[in-house]
Amino acid sequence: MKIAVPAFPATLLQALNGCGFEAYLVGGCVRDSLCGRQPVDWDITTSASPDQVKNALRRYHVVDTGVTHGTVTAVCDNQAVEITTFRVESGYSDHRHPDAVRFTLDLKEDLARRDFTINAMAYHPNTGVIDFFGGQQDLGRRQLRCVGTPTLRFEEDALRILRALRFASALGFRIEPQTAAAVHQQRALLRTVAAERVYSELTKLLCGDGVRAVLTDFADVIGVCIPELLDCVGFAQQTPYHNFDVYEHTVRALAALPSCAYLRWAMLLHDIGKPRTFTLDAQHQAHFYGHEKIGAEMAEQILRRLRAGNKLIERVTLLIRHHDADLEPTEPCLSRWLNRLGDEALLQLILLQKADDSAKSAMVRFRMSNADRLYALAEELVARGTCYSLKTLAVNGNDLLALGYTPGAPLGDALERLLQEVMAQRCPNEREALLRLAASWRE
């Protein structure tokens, strides 16, 4: 099998070979090329030590990335390539980092330390694919399998447990039964992994096409990272609007969304407040009063714990707080929501509501066509430059000062009131009309 190797990594391979070293493309780029995906980055593994790499590539800009682990980064045609010396790792007392790293001249030893068979293949234009562990067969079977004994490999480095789920989701692969059994069995080790690593793997997992199967089959593993979700698993909703328990509803709704980290995190956590707000009325119907607000607070705690970025936390909690908002496909209503959320967040909220409804009972699903109308109208309002904030109001504070308004609260209130009149379509967003209205309020 031939891989179309871009010029920049090919040049670096040649330069290393020219100095008498072995060098191969390795890992993700080989995997992605073999399954017809565009590789994200091109990594090289080589028999040369970091100093030898720097010497062989002295014509290029080379920076130390992790020399003790044998990694340098070379820049060629403005593209960065990580070059790592063949290495073996040993002694993982913290279940995450090797206690010792030893360089080796044997490619097979280097490939054996890698996590999954599909990630443990090397490639050179002269030799083709080098595959000691059945990676190509597993690619053909669309499955993830550990190199070596799964339980041991997860004990060495618990992050691999989440990487297994992440690749299964991103590639739409299944996890081979023995590897899957070890994932379940060793899941508690994930508690030893740094929060930011968990967050980054979870985000990639959530954005994958295979997310529904992974979240369904590995709820117990996700639950180690986000214990609050375990309360949702099997939590019956007992309302005519729902035909799935909270977790299954969540997973189905999430998979119906576009692949966007904000949307998928928001959906994962949108009903997390339900178990805590559950009440039954005299007719034995369930209610979850205030679950949006409590859910948004819980989501903030969870995401802070996972060291998510502020921008994501803000957006996700905003979407959760308003996920049951009553949006009507009318200009005044959408203008108010544009004013409250901004255009990007409102469009996301509409997508979130549509996907949320798609995973409810038939009684609610009819609303989904409404969502398309909402989305189209909101987009149109934005494109048309409709006024929904003080920034685009045709008058400003100075205009009202000139009319004799007192600076401070009276002036601010008047501006706000003018904006309300415009959004409710009771007054056009025109200077003369607005000034007349403001003047009439002073009389």
Helix (H) or strand (E) holding 434: helix 431-442
Q: How far is the CB of 174 from ligand ATP (least distance, A)?
A: 18
159 interacts with, out of Mg ion, ligand ATP, none, CB within 5 to 8 A per kind: ligand ATP
DSSP code of 129? Answer: E
CB of 193 to ligand ATP, least distance (A): 10
Cα distance between residue 137 and residue 169, in whole Å: 19
CB 225 within 8 A of CB 189: no
Contact of 301 with 252, CB cutoff 8 Å: no
Q: What is the CA radius of gyration of the chain?
A: 28
Does 150 engage in binding with ligand ATP (CB under 6 A)? no
- Among 22, 115, 248, 271, interactor with ligand ATP by CB under 6 A: 115
Is there binding between residue 125 and Mg ion (CB under 5 A)? Answer: no
Segment lying near ligand ATP (by CB under 6 A), choices 46-54, 56-64, 112-120, 183-191: 112-120
Using the rule CB under 6 A, is 95 a contact of ligand ATP? no
Using rule CB under 6 A, residue 252 touches ligand ATP: no
User: Is 362 among the residues that bind ligand ATP (CB under 6 A)?
Assistant: no
Sign of the C-alpha dihedral computed for residues 323, 324, 328 and 331 taken in this order: negative
Among 119, 169, 250, 353, which residue interacts with ligand ATP (rule: CB under 6 A)? Answer: 119
Give the C-alpha separation, 387 to 375, whole Å. 17
Quote the DSSP letter at residue 146: B
Instruction: Give the nearest distance from C-beta 372 to ligand ATP in angstroms.
Output: 34
Question: By CB under 6 A, which span of 101-109, 113-121, 378-386, 398-406 interacts with ligand ATP?
Answer: 113-121
Q: Which is nearer to ligand ATP, 9 or 27 (CB)?
A: 27
- What's the count of helices (H) and strands (E) in the chain, helices before strands? 23, 13
Measured between alpha carbons, how far is residue 261 from residues 115, 204, 258 in Å?
A: 25, 8, 9
Distances (CA, A) of 324 to 24, 48, 236, 370: 53, 59, 19, 14
Give me the 1-30 binding string for ligand ATP, x by CB under 6 A, dash otherwise: --------------------------xx--
Binding to ligand ATP by residue 135, rule CB under 6 A? no
Q: What are the tokens at 39?
A: 């590789």
Whether 73 and 99 have beta carbons less than 8 Å apart is answered as no
User: Considering the complex, what minimum distance in angstroms separates the CB of residue 382 from ligand ATP?
Assistant: 34
Residues in contact with Mg ion, shown as a per-residue x/- string from 29 to 48 under the rule CB under 5 A = ------------x-------
114 makes contact with ligand ATP (CB under 6 A): yes
User: Could you say whether residue 172 binds ligand ATP (CB under 6 A)?
Assistant: no
